[in-house]
Amino acid sequence: MADAAIFYFQRTLYKESDKTSTWQTIPENTTVVTAYIDIGPFSKGYLHRKRSTTFYFERAKAFKFLLNSLIVFTNSNIFKHYMLELRRDLLSVTKVFLIDSMSIRSFQYIKQIQEIFLLHSYPKYYPHTTNPMYTCVTHAKFDFLLNATTENTFKSKYFMWLDVGYYSSKTSLKMFYLSKPPSFDETKIAADQVVSNLTQALELDPNTIFKKKMSIVAAGLLYGERSRIIYFSKLYQRGFRYFLSQNLTNSEQQVIYAIYCDKGSRILKPAVELQYYRAPGAPYYHFLGTRLMKVSSLS
């Protein structure tokens, strides 16, 4: 029955001018949430290695081929119109919100974050612990997720966060959609595991996690049922504020790790667990994204 629905969707897609007339026949009806907050060029990895804004514009081209409903947040009017042009055949399942970055909840803590980064003893990782605006952007994805899931514009059961630069612009020259992960537990949040020994990794304490920039999952793609995403986003915000009060901050991956490590779990008591997807062999940050992608055979 699902295959018949997909075929009907693909056949209708090319018979009608509005490519989204039957978008709800995509299995599991997953809404994708992403964002681009322009903070100008910044150092990535090393002080003199710069990442320009053109990187994200180039990577965003992949969204032209994404059949899922899409919600985009940006502080850039140029990027807003760029995305609307990319999605011109999918506008009925696309919402692009132009926002003031300083209105984002995580940005309210930028001065406190900067004060921590200025501490002589605090480790310097570019841009994670050197650029407060970059760090706020990584935390903001949970503000955006909470907004999108609460509003639920497209009446979706499932939501996923997808970094705007997650897929290469050459990922697919065909229409594709992102569906539920295999063997997905709907009580959990799906994420890529990027450590080999999970039990051992969870024994680390938050201080080590933040100051050594350790990660347990990649946060470029997170998938969950709507009510679980809402809870997870609120849990994240609570954890972010708690660790900030302990003079600990870094990117979103360190906050997630610190919440779910043994010590963090005892303090924050998360009521939603992570479902870890691990690539065979070496950790691969985009493994889950390859498992979710379904390419349309009639593109």
For residue 110, which amino acid is it? Answer: I
β partners of residue 193 = 217
Place of tokens 């946060």: 219
* Contacts for 116 with CB less than 8 Å, ≥ 6 apart: 122, 244, 247, 248, 249
- Kindly state the tokens that stand for 139: 């935390």
* Contacts for 78 with CB less than 8 Å, ≥ 6 apart: none
Per-residue pLDDT of the chain (299 residues; tens, 9 = 90+): 333 333 233 333 333 344 544 444 566 689 999 999 999 876 676 566 667 778 899 999 999 999 999 999 999 999 999 999 999 999 999 999 999 999 999 999 999 999 999 999 999 999 999 999 999 999 999 999 999 999 999 999 999 999 999 987 666 668 899 999 999 999 999 999 999 999 999 999 999 999 999 999 999 999 999 999 999 999 999 999 999 999 999 999 999 999 999 999 999 999 999 999 999 877 788 999 999 998 876 45
Nearest residue to 41 (alpha-carbon basis) of 53, 56, 23, 25: 53
Task: Concatenate the DSSP letters of all residues of 275-298 into one string.
Answer: EEE--SSS--TTHHHHHHEEE-TT
* Contacts for 42 with CB less than 8 Å, ≥ 6 apart: 50, 51, 126, 127, 131, 133, 134
Side-chain half-sphere of 165: how many Cα atoms within 13 Å? 13
Cα 273–chain centre separation: 17
* Contact between residue 189 and residue 223 where contact means Cβ atoms under 8 Å apart: yes
β partners of residue 97 = 73
Q: Which domains are seen in the chain, by residue range?
A: 2-295 (3.90.550)
In the prediction, which pLDDT does 174 show? 84
Instruction: In whole angstroms, give the CA distance from residue 182 to residue 220.
Output: 18
Residue 49: what are its φ and ψ, rounded to 5°? Answer: -100, 105
Rg of the chain (C-alpha set): 19
Region of residue 110 (phi > 0: left; psi between -120 and 50: alpha; otherwise: beta): alpha
On the 0-12 / 13-18 / 19+ scale of CB atoms within 10 A, 1 is exposed
User: Which pTM does this prediction carry?
Assistant: 0.89
* Contact between residue 228 and residue 261 where contact means Cβ atoms under 8 Å apart: no
In the prediction, which pLDDT does 45 show? 65
In residues, how long is the chain? 299
